[in-house]
């Protein structure tokens, strides 16, 4: 699951262009599975995505009452230009809570031009998200600094964080009580079929990252006859939604934090934090203890420090910037460098508040969570003893689900023998969606092919600069070609991209324009397509 409290979407300028161009709502979509009136598309081009168009579509709040209350979804499109079209390709960046409007422009520009020209690439803000209406925002400013330390050092400290999580859940119920029963993945998947009908398509292709893999798999389960091609990148474990999946993240993110420490140690000449990874990691925890006692620049306490460095677990392209801030604080006492990194990677704006509200609404509704706080406490301390980097932070992020005001649903079981063969991508060291998720999804979707990035630790790996992975993606989208290895292992294996090299602040200012829209995410510093993608995918801030 890509978590969105700190949505630093690499769409700053791009989304600004989208907002002004969204037209009035389209006509109500009929409930019967027939073609709807054509959508009205208007130009909402940006410098990065000059062909982008926008529209809206109305969907039932409750799909069991299609003539009842309607809500509006915001759509984006890069239309096909080839003489022969392969139909719509819906794209989703994950979350739940991620805005997908700029994903259409990104995917259309990242695919080979001749292939992209064959598809209508469709982005969308799922129900409750972004420019869709109504949009959720349970507690504006919920992540404002300086928050209490996530690791409780007393019963009173634990009680304070638990009360904060419970208050968030109660506020969601009070403010959005009519929406929360309908904020779930199955409802969002049914929305996709309304979009399909509004597009006038018999079938759709779908390309989802992170939580978007579960959304795509649920759509395929509910509407198998409507699936043409299905690409799922960085798969959640569909059998673990959502409590067990989050426990798995605790250990995986700790491993990525150790990988970051090892990288910093490898580049001791640049950062002067030691040549032993354990020594570097110990320096990080000393820094954490220091900002707990005295927040850096009055803004970065222990909780904010965790949020600042968590994006490094999603994408190693952020490591150089994070290492620079780390070294500046430890070696020079530079609090402003740490505060600047917090602003780049973790500070939460209104879109982040919206993203977190949708995240909790969907995950708490999708499946049952323990109602006994003792279970949460025991499981978290057990994880923390082995994986201290973010176990408690992750628990508090999800703790509203312990007292969510709406009863949970039974999760959709995505096992599927009825859809065309799907293409799955998974990195072996992904922290947000650990490797086992790809293995399980591969088993559940009969006939699917699993492509593995060996040694890769990034979350979201296709269209991120790995040509080996992208060859499989483009071959599949072009004509349905899939790798087949036979046996029980992956169907294809690609080597991970090389790790980043240290960068200088001076070099950061000279990056090329291909990162337009990513300046607010720290993505611009890497000057790569991968940086733009990972800004779009977002992360828990």
* Residues labelled catalytic: 210, 430, 459
Q: Please name which of 388, 400, 417 lies closest in space to residue 356, comparing C-alpha atoms.
A: 400
Contact 73, 41 (CB under 8 A): no
Q: Please name which of 278, 347, 283 lies closest in space to residue 310, comparing C-alpha atoms.
A: 347
Task: Give the DSSP H or E segment for 197.
Answer: helix 185-199
Contact 89, 205 (CB under 8 A): yes
Contact 319, 260 (CB under 8 A): yes
Contact 459, 437 (CB under 8 A): no
Q: What angle do CA 467, 345, 308 make, to 5 degrees?
A: 110
What secondary structure letter does DSSP report for 499? Answer: P
Q: CA 528 to CA 214: how far, in whole Å?
A: 27
Q: Please name which of 132, 122, 129 lies closest in space to residue 57, comparing C-alpha atoms.
A: 132
407: Cα within 13 Å, side-chain hemisphere = 2
Contact 103, 534 (CB under 8 A): no
DSSP states along 56-90: EEEEESSTTSTTS-EEEEEEEEE---SSS---EEE
Q: CA 474 to CA 480: how far, in whole Å?
A: 9
Q: CA 151 to CA 148: how far, in whole Å?
A: 9
Q: Please name which of 332, 252, 330, 348 lies closest in space to residue 288, comparing C-alpha atoms.
A: 330
Q: CA 477 to CA 475: how far, in whole Å?
A: 6
Contact 222, 400 (CB under 8 A): no
Three-state DSSP at 387 gives coil
Q: What angle do CA 451, 216, 181 make, to 5 degrees?
A: 145
Angle between helices 391-398 and 373-386 (to 10 degrees): 150
H helix and E strand count, the chain: 20, 10
């Amino acid at each position: 699951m890509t978590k969105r409290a700190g949505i630093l979407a690499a769409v700053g300028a791009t989304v600004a262009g989208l907002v002004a161009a969204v037209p009035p709502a389209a006509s109500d979509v009929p409930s019967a599975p027939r073609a709807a009136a054509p959508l009205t598309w208007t130009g909402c081009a940006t410098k990065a995505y000059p062909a982008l168009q926008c529209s809206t579509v109305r969907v039932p709040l409750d799909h069991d009452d299609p003539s009842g209350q309607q809500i509006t979804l915001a759509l984006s499109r890069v239309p096909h230009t080839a003489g022969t079209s392969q139909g719509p390709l819906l794209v989703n960046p994950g979350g739940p809570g991620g805005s997908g409007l700029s994903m259409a422009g990104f995917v259309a520009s990242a695919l080979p031009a001749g292939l992209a020209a064959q598809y209508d690439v469709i982005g969308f803000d799922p129900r409750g998200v972004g420019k869709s209406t109504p949009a959720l925002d349970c507690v504006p400013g919920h992540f404002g600094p300086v928050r209490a330390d996530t690791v409780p050092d007393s019963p009173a400290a634990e009680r304070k964080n638990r009360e904060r999580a419970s208050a968030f859940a109660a506020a969601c119920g009070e403010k959005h009580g009519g929406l929360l029963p309908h904020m779930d993945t199955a409802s969002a998947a049914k929305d996709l079929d309304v979009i399909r009908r509004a597009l006038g398509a018999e079938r759709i292709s779908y390309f989802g990252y992170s939580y978007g893999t579960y959304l795509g798999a649920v759509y395929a389960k509910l509407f198998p006859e409507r699936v043409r091609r299905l690409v799922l990148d960085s798969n959640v474990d569909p059998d673990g939604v959502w409590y067990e999946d989050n426990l798995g993240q605790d250990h995986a993110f700790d491993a990525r934090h150790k990988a970051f420490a090892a990288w910093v140690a490898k580049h001791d000449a640049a950062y002067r934090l030691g040549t032993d990874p354990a020594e570097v990691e110990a320096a990080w925890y000393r820094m954490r203890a220091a900002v707990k006692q005295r927040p850096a620049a009055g803004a970065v306490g222990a909780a904010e420090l965790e949020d600042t460095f968590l994006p490094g677990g999603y994408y190693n392209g952020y490591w150089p910037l994070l290492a620079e801030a780390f070294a500046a604080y430890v070696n020079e006492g530079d609090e402003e460098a740490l505060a600047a990194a917090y602003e780049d990677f973790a500070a939460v704006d209104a879109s982040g508040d919206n993203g977190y509200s949708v995240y909790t609404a969907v995950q708490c509704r999708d499946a049952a969570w323990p109602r006994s706080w003792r279970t949460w406490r025991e499981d978290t301390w057990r994880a923390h003893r082995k994986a201290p980097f973010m176990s408690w932070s992750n628990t508090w992020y999800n703790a509203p689900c312990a007292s969510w005001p709406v009863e949970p649903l039974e999760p959709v079981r995505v096992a599927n023998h009825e859809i065309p063969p799907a293409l799955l991508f998974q990195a072996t060291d992904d922290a947000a969606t650990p490797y086992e998720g790809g293995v399980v999804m591969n088993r559940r979707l009969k006939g699917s092919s699993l492509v593995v990035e060996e040694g890769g630790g990034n979350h979201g790996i296709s269209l991120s600069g790995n040509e080996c992975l992208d060859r499989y993606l483009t071959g599949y989208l072009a004509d349905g070609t899939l790798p087949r290895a036979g046996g029980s292992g992956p169907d294809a294996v690609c080597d991970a991209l090389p790790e980043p090299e240290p960068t200088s602040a001076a070099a950061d200012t000279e990056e090329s324009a291909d990162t337009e829209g990513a300046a607010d995410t720290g993505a611009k510093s890497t000057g790569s397509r991968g940086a733009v993608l990972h800004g779009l995918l977002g992360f828990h801030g």
